[in-house]
Amino acid sequence: MTNDPQDHADGRQTSSRKKDHVDLCIGSDVAFRGKSTGLERYELEHNALPEIDFQDVDPSVMFLGRPCSMPLLISSMTGGYAEAERINSQLGEVCQSLGIPMGVGSQRQALQDGRYLDSFRAARRAAPSVPIFGNIGGAEVARDTALEDVRRLADLIEADGFAIHLNPLQELMQPEGNPNFRGVLAGIERLCRGLEIPLIVKEVGAGLSADVIRRLLDVGVAHIDVAGAGGTSWSGVEILRRGEEDDDPFWDWGIPTAEAVAAARPICEDAGATLIASGGIAGPRDIAIAIALGAHLAGSARILLKTLLDDGQPALAAMLSRWKRTLRGMMFLSGCRTVAELRCARLVHRPDPRERG
């Protein structure tokens, strides 16, 4: 998409960084060390009189104008280097077979260098009928990335929506990072006004606060992904990339997922916005709790990528099918026939034993 030699050099650097990220996420311990998602502190209240038949439990939802079989999306992960084409193709095939949405990784590299465009196109080619959304960072938006550039990125994958990821912590920790975030909100507002498809704004694992969500909704954002703390520490990933000690105080920085979802719920409901819970979503229980806390969908990434790369595509498809069956069971035992009803399910809070005096 560019002929500038400096852009090509930047593109090669971005491709290398993307590969580093995947390798570290799969091969190293990059989880939060002293902080959890908080989802484990909640339980769905058991309903011994559900007054529904299990066969009537329906976990399907609509997302970005398309039907989905369950309230789960594969969060934005990769693209922009050679091996990413196979990964996105296989992820896309699983999404297509199960009817769940998928986001591609940051498309910044596609603006810099045209060598790996097929690594992004692979998702839509493999998944023609599920929601697919594009992705670029807030730092790029702050640099006044042109609306036409974002449209080209969206067209590249025939996107149903487009995500802007806010990652100031990761950019701060990244050796070659760009922690220049002045102007991001204005850039998001321009995209909301000019882009023909819905805009999603997400964190990458440090959470969105209530104040940030209000500011995003005020400029027209209608899809919020809190991407809270407790799962993959992207500051941890960057610390390991730098080869530094892993006791850095920023390793555990961020708002836990459960806390972020609970705070976001009333704000998103007042605005009629879609709320997505990601950040440490590692199974059907996390999905169910996140939705009962107020999310419309949940997003998962690292555990799915690790399963794909370690055990293969059939294993990933089988795991996600089990997640769906278990989620339906949890809905049944909570007396919830639909995901909308699950959002109103009763939760029991179990305090962390460490908090007791």
CATH of the domain at 101: 3.20.20.70
Number of H helices, E strands in the chain: 15, 12
Tally of domains within the chain: 1
2 has a pLDDT exceeding 80: no
* 247/239 Cα distance (integer angstroms): 9
Q: What is the pLDDT of residue 6?
A: 43
pLDDT band at 7 (very low <50, low <70, confident <90, very high): very low
**Cα 252–Cα 306–Cα 61 angle in degrees, nearest 5:** 85
**127 or 241, higher pLDDT:** 127
Q: Structural domain of residue 100, as residue ranges?
A: 5-355
User: How high is the pLDDT of residue 350?
Assistant: 85
> Where is average pLDDT lowest: 11-15, 99-103, 230-234, 343-347?
11-15
Which pLDDT band, with edges at 50, 70 and 90, does 5 fall under?
Answer: very low
Stronger pLDDT, 244 or 316, i.e. the higher one:
316
- For the chain, the average pLDDT equals 92
Task: Please list, in sequence order, all residues whose beta carbon lies within 8 angstroms of the beta carbon of residue 276, skipping any fewer than 6 positions away.
Answer: 73, 200, 202, 223, 224, 225, 226, 295, 296, 297, 298, 299
Q: What are phi and psi of 134, to 5 degrees?
A: -85, -175
Among 138-152, 272-286, 307-321, which stretch is predicted with the lowest mean pLDDT?
Answer: 138-152
